[in-house]
Structure 1
Amino acid sequence: METRYATNPTDFKMYDGERIRNDFLVENLFVQGELNMVYSHYDRLITGGAVPTDKPLKLEDKETLKTEYFLERREVGFINISENAGKVTVDGESYDLNKRDCLYVGKGNKEVTVESVDASKPARFYIVSALAHTNYPTKKLAIEEATPTHLGSDAESNNRTIYKYIHGDGIQSCQLMMGMTLLAPNNMWNTMPPHVHDRRMEAYLYFDMDEESRVFHFMGKPDDTRHIVVKNEQVVLSPPWSIHSGVGTNNYTFIWAMAGENYTFDDMDHVKMEELK
């Protein structure tokens, strides 16, 4: 598992583009036959990607976590971002995940594996894990069962649908919050005007993009913004003090995941457009 350390906004002012990408962009999570993870010192969030082929992949990294098993002190969410069917097995019980289905697994489950239904057509699992203080039940939520929230408009180029999976009014967890936003065709902007939430960090996975598409992800303090150019299936780690907004060369989908102090989706400090620089 790779480790990413935290920084502060004063030091961030001195970073060039390469340093920003090295600290905040996760580029190669999804590799066939592998489970790859990144441990962030922002709220101890772990992001991962698993692409199982001929055998199941086990969720584990004892060397990094120094625990007997992965979920000894953690909880985790899985979303299948592939058209290909996959399966997550939790202490002997299996859950089928089609594209955009979500599974939450709580603290205390000892053996968790992911596999593809057809090894020649591997599923692609996005994985996010946060620290946990108690156990909540393992629960699956298919995208067809999730309640959509429609926001934005074509006139603002931000017509989008939000699906909340793991949150206060959905799948219960200790602190992990997880959901997905789909932009309609010909819409490119998300979360503009932006906001910050100094009580928790956020991670963005951008996907459903073709090879030539890019998202320009904006970050930094509202009065001193920077950007990262993001390709398909790459993750941006967003510090609590940073805005997190993006615009694409065409429409895209992204998964947002948060962890930190507060467990309220609406806990955010909005930024006025005139404050942005």
Structure 2
Amino acid sequence: MKGSVIVNGENLNEKDMAYVPIDTEVSLRVNKDSVVYIAEAPAQTKYEFYVKRLKDAESYFINQPGYRRTVVVMIGEGDKAERFIAGYVEGLKGEWTSYPPHRHDDKPEAYIFYGIDPGFGVQLIIDENDERAYVVHDYDVVLIPRGYHPNFSTTLTGINYAWIIAAPPDRRNLTVDVHPAYKDLPLGRSHLKIK
């Protein structure tokens, strides 16, 4: 997330990601003032260790007024990872991201926020039984087990976050259900696939 680290001898810069497969020893050297997050999920298939560089990642600018943002897919459907799909979103000031509201209840997700301070963002999680709102700042983590999960920022900064999905191996994709009230909103060029 911030600074640089060395993983198995590979230098990782800010926003680079490493995939470490099951039953693999890993050495991690974190440089001073760096911030690192580690996500894990059960796995059975042993793929190779690899590093994904931000500069080599697939990127989309979604240019829909009110929810303009850049989406970067770091570990995508075509990458060898049993469960993970991961990337970054950087929204424009005062705009929505994770929008139109969508859900993928069989694929839990985590958002790790950054680059928001001195402002803040608001993360919503909405389903048939509950509506929750969380005020988020730099390095906050929100776990999204289910439900629609749009968010927005103040006009001081955009809302920025790393996203990590842990999907069942047979459903490791970016297929989502859009909230019925928002189904006619334009999606633009996107990483998401609408059911």
Normalised by the length of structure 1, the TM-score is 0.60
- Give the alignment partner of residue 244 of structure 1, picking from 144, 149, 156: 149
1:192 equivalent to 2:117? Answer no
Contact 2:152 2:159 in 1 (8 A): no
Separation of aligned partners in 2, 1:272 and 1:182: 25
Quick check: which has more Rg, 1 or 2?
A: 1
Q: Which residue of 2 aligns with 1:225?
A: 131
Q: Which residue of 2 aligns with 1:88?
A: 7
Separation of aligned partners in 1, 2:182 and 2:21: 42
- Give the alignment partner of residue 172 of structure 2, picking from 254, 260, 263: 263
**Residue identity opposite 2:150 in structure 1:** S
Separation of aligned partners in 1, 2:17 and 2:110: 16
Q: Which residue of 2 aligns with 1:115?
A: 29
Contact 1:103 1:141 in 2 (8 A): yes
Contact 1:193 1:272 in 2 (8 A): no
- Give the alignment partner of residue 55 of structure 2, picking from 144, 151, 168: 144
Query: Secondary structure of the residue that 1:273 maps to in structure 2?
Result: helix
The verdict on how the C-alpha distance between 1:123 and 1:274 changes in structure 2, with shifts beyond 3 A counting, is: closer
Query: Secondary structure of the residue that 1:162 maps to in structure 2?
Result: strand
Q: For 1:201-235, what per-residue CA distance to the aligned partner results, in whole angstroms no more than 9, with x for missing partners?
A: 1111111122x321111012157522111121101
- Cα deviation, residue 273, structure 1: 2.9
Unaligned runs of 5+ in 2: 184-195
Q: Which residue of 2 aligns with 1:134?
A: 45
- Cα deviation, residue 192, structure 1: 2.3
The verdict on how the C-alpha distance between 1:272 and 1:193 changes in structure 2, with shifts beyond 3 A counting, is: farther
Separation of aligned partners in 2, 1:274 and 1:142: 34
- Cα deviation, residue 146, structure 1: 0.7
- Cα deviation, residue 163, structure 1: 1.1
- Cα deviation, residue 145, structure 1: 0.7
Query: Secondary structure of the residue that 2:116 maps to in structure 1?
Result: coil
More helix by share: 1
Query: Secondary structure of the residue that 2:142 maps to in structure 1?
Result: strand
Separation of aligned partners in 2, 1:200 and 1:159: 24
Contact 1:193 1:273 in 2 (8 A): no
Separation of aligned partners in 2, 1:273 and 1:124: 38
Normalised by the length of structure 2, the TM-score is 0.84
**Residue identity opposite 1:216 in structure 2:** V
Q: For 1:14-36, what per-residue CA distance to the aligned partner results, in whole angstroms no more than 9, with x for missing partners?
A: xxxxxxxxxxxxxxxxxxxxxxx
Query: Secondary structure of the residue that 1:125 maps to in structure 2?
Result: coil
Separation of aligned partners in 2, 1:230 and 1:104: 27
**Residue identity opposite 1:245 in structure 2:** P
- Cα deviation, residue 182, structure 1: 1.4
- Give the alignment partner of residue 178 of structure 1, picking from 86, 91, 109: 86
- Cα deviation, residue 129, structure 1: 0.9
Q: Percent identity of the aligned residues? A: 23
Poorly superposed stretches of 4+, deviation over 4 Å: none
Q: For 1:48-90, what per-residue CA distance to the aligned partner results, in whole angstroms no more than 9, with x for missing partners?
A: xxxxxxxxxxxxxxxxxxxxxxxxxxxxxxxxx11x222112x
- Give the alignment partner of residue 273 of structure 1, picking from 169, 173, 181: 181
- CA RMSD, aligned part only? 1.9
Separation of aligned partners in 2, 1:164 and 1:257: 10
Q: For 1:186-206, what per-residue CA distance to the aligned partner results, in whole angstroms no more than 9, with x for missing partners?
A: 343112221111221111111
Choose between structure 1 and 2 for higher RCO, CA contacts under 8 A separated by at least 6 residues.
Answer: 2
